Amino acid sequence: MESNHKRFDENTLLEKIFKQLDISQTDYEKAVESYNAVGKYLVEILGKTANIYPQGSFLYGTVIRPYFQGKDAEYDIDLVCEFIPSPDTAEACKTLVGNALKASERYKKMLKDEEGRRCWTLEYAKTGEADFHMDILPSKPASADRIKKLTDQGVPIEYANTAIQITTKIVDGYKWDYSNPKGFKAWLDDVTILYMKEIRVMHEDSVESVPSQYESQTPVHRVIQILKRHRDIRFDTAGLNDIKPMSMIITTLVTRVAEANTNKSVSVFELLEMVIRSADKVKTLSEQNMRYDAFEESFIKRKDNGEWEINNPVDPEENFAETWHKNNSEKAKAFFQWVDWLKQDLLIPLKSRDSVQAFKGLSDGLGKGFVKNVFDELKLPITAPTIHISKKEDIDTMPKPWKPDER
């Protein structure tokens, strides 16, 4: 029997959802203005040896408004302070940035009291200036030996050349760790360039610009955004924020699926479906307790000792799933529970093209008020139409459509 509910085009609906996902132009401009001000200040204090550039979702073009404890939360804009030449030790590098911030009457008031493990954090939200915080990561370029090691492991030289060493505070002091936000951005761009008409070129100024808010809206970026929103809502509602999948895992898996896909003209919904189905295959293998190293599409591996691997594409030694095996694999189990939620909240409702069914699923996964705004804009019904049924009467008491037989 045909549904009486209104049908919709899934990509039209998704496009409206994405407009709700993007942070406002005002918030974006505040974040960029603050980033530029901090960058300019650090270069003035530390000299031209300091190179400032963004990292994280602002760099990748996947920023969304975070959700925490039942409401929209403050977001963050992260920047890297890379010294060329650099201090000899990790402690000296970290301290140099911290002292520069403390020397400013403005920034020392914003500085978070407790030193971060890797970053210094400026808390704009607590000053009432804006609803975000800024993490500043002290670093230096990776050594020539490190870059050679990366290339020996198969990382293209254009990615390896931008690798950095970052400061990490440990129990008895500081140590150097590794990262490569520019290399990851270059890999993401190389995958998505076939999904878009043009792409931003990285600047070489002391303070590099933040990418335009709407400049990278390919299906790849959009799928990453909607998955991050769904993760935030579902894990916050379940009270499981501590074990939700990290954003770098989401970004890596979506981009890996997009990289493997031969049809670069897919719609957002088609790519979303491919990502969810790919993750679902991994879930099936997990339930069968199978190894994953032969399953290329998943890009998730599980070793014989039970440990999991989701490797950074520009640094094979960085494993985004390094803690998945701990605490009875609670983070792995959380990931696979999320896959079930994705099917239930996004894939099935969107494939139904039934507005009432879609509203229920999308509300559970993206937030009821958030989704209602989209449905109201598209004039899609969210409840089933009321069908009025006449009172049943005995047929013998009904008026006859003929005259009585007068014979």
Distance CA 57, CA 248 (A): 9
The whole-number pLDDT of residue 87 equals 87
On average, the pLDDT of the chain sits at 84
Q: Are 316 and 306 in contact (CB under 8 A)?
A: no
Distance CA 126, CA 85 (A): 34
Burial class (CB in 10 A: 0-12, 13-18, 19+), 138: buried
Q: Which of 66-80, 84-98, 113-127, 210-224 shows the lowest mean pLDDT across its residues?
A: 210-224
Distance CA 279, CA 343 (A): 10
Q: For domain 23-213, give the CATH superfamily.
A: Beta Polymerase, domain 2 (3.30.460.10)
Element holding 95 (H helix, E strand): helix 90-102
The residues near 108 (Cβ < 8 Å, ≥ 6 apart) are 101, 102
Helices (H) and strands (E) counted in the chain, each on its own, are 16, 12
Q: What is the pLDDT of residues 328-387, one digit of tens each?
A: 989 999 999 999 999 999 999 999 888 888 898 899 999 888 899 999 988 888 886 544
Q: What pTM, to 2 d.p., does this model score?
A: 0.86
Which pLDDT band, with edges at 50, 70 and 90, does 66 fall under? confident
The whole-number pLDDT of residue 289 equals 63
Q: What is the pLDDT of residues 116-145, one digit of tens each?
A: 999 999 998 776 666 788 999 999 999 999
The whole-number pLDDT of residue 407 equals 42
Of residues 164, 161, 163, 223, the one with CA closest to residue 192 = 223
Give Cα 15 distance to the centre of its chain: 17
The whole-number pLDDT of residue 197 equals 45
Give the pair of three-digit tokens for residue 285: 């293998």
Distance CA 99, CA 115 (A): 12
Give the pair of three-digit tokens for residue 6: 């209104």
Q: Whose structure tokens read 């996902």?
A: 21
User: Degrees (nearest 5) of the Cα angle 220, 226, 228?
Assistant: 100
Which pLDDT band, with edges at 50, 70 and 90, does 389 fall under? very low
Is the pLDDT at 395 greater than 50, yes or no? no
The whole-number pLDDT of residue 384 equals 60
Which pLDDT band, with edges at 50, 70 and 90, does 324 fall under? very high
* pLDDT over 90, % of the chain: 51
The whole-number pLDDT of residue 48 equals 74
The whole-number pLDDT of residue 385 equals 54
Give the residue-averaged pLDDT of 281-292.
69
Give the residue-averaged pLDDT of 258-266.
89
Distance CA 313, CA 159 (A): 9
The whole-number pLDDT of residue 26 equals 84
The whole-number pLDDT of residue 257 equals 92
Which pLDDT band, with edges at 50, 70 and 90, does 297 fall under? low
Extract the runs of DSSP E, i.e. beta strands, from 25-92.
50-55, 67-68, 71-72, 75-83
Indicate the SS3 state at residue 137: strand
Give the residue-averaged pLDDT of 265-292.
82
Which pLDDT band, with edges at 50, 70 and 90, does 210 fall under? low
Domain ranges of the chain: 1-22+216-383, 23-213
Is the pLDDT at 291 greater than 60, yes or no? no
The whole-number pLDDT of residue 132 equals 84
Is the pLDDT at 296 greater than 90, yes or no? no
Q: What is the pLDDT of residues 144-161, one digit of tens each?
A: 999 999 999 999 999 999
Q: For the stretch 26-46, what's the b/e string if a residue is b when 16 or more beta carbons lie within 10 angstroms of its beta carbon?
A: ebbebbbebbeebbebbbeeb
Is the pLDDT at 46 greater than 80, yes or no? yes
398 vs 384, more confident: 384
